Structure formats: structure tokens, C-alpha cells
Amino acid sequence: MSRTTPKNLLILTMLAAAALFCAMPPASAHEHGPQKRTISVAATGTVKATPDKIDITTGVTSEALTAREALDKNTEAMAKVVEALKSDGIEAKDIQTTNFSVSPVYEQRKEGQAPFVSGYRVVNSVRISLRDTKKLGAILDKVVSLGANTIDSIEFSVAEPEALKDKARKRAMENVTANAELYAEAAGVKLGPVLTIIEEDAFIPRYGSAAPARMEMARDVPIEAGTATVEVRVRVTWELE
């Protein structure tokens, strides 16, 4: 007859306890109280404004037989443009060089012949931040008159978008709350405390042509400022009473 030693008895006790624990059914969610009922709704807040800042990319492109001649021509014209901008009240911090290049100009007179250098081209471009939108027409007219022969882009924007973004956030919360109250009323329940607020998208500027604001332009240059639209989308979750 085999005898059970104290050590074997301890092992058998531990194995029995483990088997009993594994056989126990998992705790029901109801043992920890009823699950909260919630509602989650998303909505967008929109604010529109007339752009109050304009970024203009303009410059001078010059060509000559030699690189030195092309550079001198370009420098003379560009210096006049920059000086005129500063004299019109545009600060140095709002004038930034965006491109400067010197490159050969190739020409091919007859088919099958190798192209040869016929001259040189110098390009100097600046980005101008114009904070007085009423000056746009006069500025364009002046820079072209002084030698600027390229205007690559004119971009309208809002100088301080954060204030508009905060307004859009408030409208988004108003809209999402109204929608949630409507759903809750239709379901015969009431909104409880807010559980989460998530900002899904913010500050999406779009420049449309609705209700355009025509800029006062010299020589009636047809440029439209359009409308800047700032949007904020939020998702809010409430507990239901």
C-alpha cells in the first residue's frame, strides 16, 4: 500500500484548487452593475470670413548673351521692385525671396544638330505678404511697371485663423448638442453628462466664389477675393438618463 507523503498531499491540494477555479463560470456583467447607455453624435461648425491677407509671388526674369549681363539687368529691375514695395509701407519681414537661379538658354537651329548656348537667364522671385487688401491693385500695377514680368500666384487667407477656429468650435458644439437632444427626444430618453469630446477635424480653409468681395484694383484688374471658410468637426458622447 502506497503512503501519501505531506509533499504529495500539498501538490494534490493545489491541483484540485486549480481545477475548481477553471470550472467556475465567468462573472456576469450584471454582477458589476448595469452597463451605461450612451449616445455619440458628430457635427460641424462653420464660420465664413472675407480674407484679410494676400500672398503674392512675383519676380523678374531677365535674359542676355552673358550671365553677367543677365544678372545686372535682373538686379537693377528687382531692386526697383523691392524699393517700391518698401516705400508703399510693406515691411521687410513681409518680403521674402523664394527663388533665384542663373541658367543657360539653349537653342537648336537645325534638326539633328546639337543645341548650343545662346544666352543666359536669371530668375529672381519674391513672396509678398500684403496685409492691406485695398492695396492689391496698386501693388500689382507698380511692380509690373517697374520690371516684374512674372506673377506666379495670388493667395487669399485669414491673418488670424485661431479666432475663427474658436467660433467654429462653439458652433460645432451647439450643432452637435441640438442634434443629440433631437435624437434623445425621439427615443424617449434624456441626455445625461458628457463623457467625451473629440475634435475630429479643424480649420479647413476653402476659398469659394459665393458672395465674392471685389478688390479695388488699379486699371480694373479682375481678381476676386472669394470667401474663407473655417470648419471644425467634433464628436461628443453623452450618457443617457
- 100 and 62 inside one domain: yes
How do residues 67-104 score in pLDDT, each as one tens digit?
Answer: 999 999 999 999 999 999 999 889 999 999 999 999 99
Q: Is the pLDDT of residue 163 over 70?
A: yes
Q: What is the CATH number of the domain that holds 216?
A: 3.30.110.170
- 59 and 153 inside one domain: yes
Record the cell numbers describing residue 46, joined without a space: 462653420
Query: Rounded mean pLDDT of the chain?
Result: 81
In a domain, 144, yes or no: yes
- 172 and 106 inside one domain: no
Closest CA to 240 of 179, 155, 183: 183
- 126 and 63 inside one domain: yes
Side-chain-side CA neighbours of 167 within 13 Å: the count stands at: 11
- Structural domain harbouring 195: 38-50+161-240
Per-residue model confidence (pLDDT) at position 53: 87
Per-residue model confidence (pLDDT) at position 221: 59
- 133 and 172 inside one domain: no
Angle between the N-to-C axes of helices 136-145 and 67-87, in degrees from 0 to 180, rounded to the nearest 10? 150
In a domain, 14, yes or no: no
- 124 and 66 inside one domain: yes
- 145 and 173 inside one domain: no
- 105 and 68 inside one domain: yes
In a domain, 216, yes or no: yes
* pLDDT: which is higher, 29 or 73: 73
Least confident window among 83-87, 111-115, 148-152 = 111-115
- 199 and 120 inside one domain: no
Q: Which helix (H) or strand (E) holds 75?
A: helix 67-87
Choosing from 89, 122, 157, the residue where a domain stops is 157
In a domain, 180, yes or no: yes
pLDDT tier at 20, thresholds 50, 70, 90: very low
Q: How many domains does the chain have?
A: 2
Q: Is the pLDDT of residue 22 over 60?
A: no
pLDDT tier at 6, thresholds 50, 70, 90: low
Per-residue model confidence (pLDDT) at position 161: 82
Rounded distance between C-alpha atoms, residue 135 and residue 90, angstroms: 10
- 46 and 65 inside one domain: no
- Where are any strands of DSSP class E within 16-140? 38-49, 53-64, 95-107, 116-130
How do residues 229-240 score in pLDDT, each as one tens digit?
Answer: 889 999 999 999
In a domain, 29, yes or no: no
* pLDDT: which is higher, 33 or 146: 146
How do residues 204-226 score in pLDDT, each as one tens digit?
Answer: 554 543 333 333 444 545 666 77
- 201 and 165 inside one domain: yes
Per-residue model confidence (pLDDT) at position 211: 35
Q: CB–CB of 98/125 below 8 Å?
A: yes
Side chain identity, residue 65 = L
